[in-house]
Amino acid sequence: MENMKTLTKVTAGILSFALAMGAVSTVPAAPRLSSAVAAETSEEQLYDYCLQDVFILSADISEDKATFKAVPRMHGIYSIWSYSHIMSFEIDPALINESSELFDKDVSMIDNLSDDSVVTIKFTSKYDYPLLRLTEEERENMVFDSRETYKIYDIVKIEAPGIHYYGDINDDGVIDSFDLITYRKCLADPAKQKELNEFMFGNGDINKNDEIDDDDLKRVSDYILGNIDDFYGDCAIGSVRLDNTVSVEASEGKVTDEAFAKAEMNFGIDLLKRCFDPTKKDEENLLISPLSISSALAMTANGADGKTKEEMEKVLCEDMTLDQLNEYLAYYAANLPDESKKKIYLANSIWFKDDPTLQVYDSFLETNKKFYNSEIYKTPFNENTVNDINSWVSKNTRGMIPSLLQKNAFEPKNNINIMMVLMNTLYFEAEWRCPYTSSYDGKFTDLNGIEHNIKRMSSEESKYYDLGDADAFKKDYEGGDYSFVGILPKEKNIIDYINDLDADKLAEGLKEYEDPDSIELHVMIPKFKYNYKKSLSEVLENMGMADAFDNEKADFSKINDLSVTDASPLFINDVLHKTRIEVTEKGTKAAAVTAIMMAATSALPPERKKIYIELDRPFVYMIVDKNNVPLFIGAATQLEEK
């Protein structure tokens, strides 16, 4: 959901904060007043402060430092251009040694601050700052010493309207017993869920399954009781992390080029064509992440040999080697953005069973550590391991995908024992370069001609692509390096269009857009969100890597030592893929997880042409980077406002 943030437990309670743009201007110069001397106090004594409605100029976080700059309101306005009115704050560096937990909590609170926002911040400090206790009226004729840096001990709360928190189903900024009452009312009477507004429902639906259920209630109850610190934190119960013991220098990788973009586009379009079947229940809307799937499979292929490796290599990267793909993916992951308005996170992990018959080669782990920065876990593969893996997925998708595996995922079935899981997660969050100011009611016509209520978001764009049998546009995210691509078939229905889709022609067609001066491009994107999950085993077998799934033919002899007593050859038992996307007025959030389950037996300007592309019927879409590498590919055939 738009503007959703993770909660951090603080002693004073859990409160929301948000953006509220304030008026900005300059004010007449005032006589300089020297800053008050900050008197250091004893460890036991703390001073309380409240920065009421301050304008946040910037917030910066590094490994051992967290700072922000704020401008107080004076004369009813914010003088953001005057250095004499800028206050600098930092988390007290002494906290790193005194209380790393409190330091991390404070940093996570500062991470919530958005540039150009107006917030109220309550905090404590070991130092006495008399100037910070002045009211707006009292400081009207004063200026601050720009050289002063105010040290924060504990951020108690940050308040502002507009940002909402998971678990706060009442949307009052606090998670408490009143939220539990509302949860129970909604569970006792499902009709009550319809009375919740968009923000209340989004807050309450913690597990992102588009309903308020017992699992949501349990998570909030555990949070209030103190059994959990947040809704998607680490929970390493029985898994022993080993990657810190693997000493290998990370690869710098190979710079993204047309060859890599082509390989990912071909792989993604092939997956789209084979996965898309909107006639199946719960598969009306599809979303896959070629980048996530190829990363997980490439890690697995690093343990393959012989024909198994050849087949996997051909499916993943027909015109290049696995070694080259490793280099490309290493560079790509190392150069993803992590900014306030644009962030993409890739994470990889390898989980193997703590079993004397499974001796994993160091070389396999080192290769995946080198190119994929893989976390490595040795674990008993029981229910605790399921919890560990689900926790890892939830954490690395920022709660977008709360879980992947069922409780019985590691129970032996038909003499098949799961011995290893290789995982990739991908999280994408970006604001539009030009956000929508509002949405309005409209209709979406599905494959069967049935109309559904939706929220429409309209804009004028500049990047139009005539793909021959389809119209396409790009709408840029902040910075312009990533874009939403909307593709609307002209004559064909969506099924025929996808069946006939040619990856090379699509990539070529998206290279250059028409002259913006010659067109007037009107675009409508529906506001939508949905989940998608699919087992890719059959799909990948049909794409050409059948041996990897055959317990007799699979050759993953580079993963484990088969000379060990009772050791069994490994094969891929399943490939699980789960995704979620949310497209709103502000931007887009999307997440994916892929798990490979390894098992063993045992001139005068002419008149501008007007073009209208309205995604109010089945369409294809992608999230791509500036090289047209597809992070996500989707197809929507049945959207409805929820």
Tell me if 391 sits within 8 A of 588, measured CB to CB: no
Give the tens place of pLDDT for each residue, 19-46: 222 222 222 223 333 333 344 444 568 9
Residues 523 and 574 in one domain: no
Give the tens place of pLDDT for each residue, 172-204: 767 888 888 999 999 999 888 888 888 788 888
| Last-in-domain residue among 159, 181, 198 | 159
257 conformational bin, left if phi > 0, alpha if psi -120 to 50, beta if neither: beta
Comparing 240 with 353, the larger pLDDT belongs to: 353
Residues 512 and 560 in one domain: no
DSSP state of 249: P
342 conformational bin, left if phi > 0, alpha if psi -120 to 50, beta if neither: beta
Asked, for residue 181, whether it belongs to a domain, the answer is yes
Comparing 84 with 562, the larger pLDDT belongs to: 562
DSSP state of 585: S
- Cα angle 309, 292, 279; round to 5: 100
Asked, for residue 642, whether it belongs to a domain, the answer is no
Tell me if 521 sits within 8 A of 465, measured CB to CB: no
Helix (H, G, I), strand (E, B) or coil at 240: strand
Asked, for residue 318, whether it belongs to a domain, the answer is yes
Residues 586 and 627 in one domain: no
Pairing label, strands 609-614, 519-535: parallel
What's the pLDDT at 24?
A: 26
Please state the domain count of the chain. Answer: 4
Strand partners, 22: none
Residue 235, pLDDT > 50, answer no
What's the pLDDT at 111?
A: 78
What's the pLDDT at 42?
A: 43
Residues 194 and 248 in one domain: no
The DSSP string of 275-323 is H--TTSTT-SEEEE-HHHHHHHHHHHHTT--HHHHHHHHHHH-TTS-HH
Strands (E) located in 72-116: 87-91
Asked, for residue 2, whether it belongs to a domain, the answer is no
Residue 107, pLDDT > 90, answer no
| Last-in-domain residue among 159, 176, 210 | 159
Residues 364 and 303 in one domain: yes
The pLDDT-based confidence of 246 (bands split at 50, 70, 90) is: low
Residues 257 and 320 in one domain: yes
Residues 202 and 62 in one domain: no
Residues 567 and 452 in one domain: no
Cα separation, 483 vs 479, whole angstroms: 10
Query: How many CA atoms does the CB half-sphere of 109 hold within 13 Å?
Result: 29
Comparing 450 with 159, the larger pLDDT belongs to: 450
Question: Which range of residues forms the domain containing residue 332?
Answer: 240-430+530-601
Tell me if 554 sits within 8 A of 570, measured CB to CB: yes
Residues 108 and 74 in one domain: yes
Residues 557/559/563/568 CA torsion (nearest 10 deg): -80
Tell me if 144 sits within 8 A of 131, measured CB to CB: yes
Residues 69 and 117 in one domain: yes
Tell me if 186 sits within 8 A of 196, measured CB to CB: yes
Asked, for residue 311, whether it belongs to a domain, the answer is yes
Q: Sign of the C-alpha dihedral, residues 499, 505, 508, 514?
A: negative
- pTM for the structure as a whole: 0.74
Residues 460 and 387 in one domain: no
Helix residue ranges, H only, 489-562 = 494-499, 503-509, 537-543
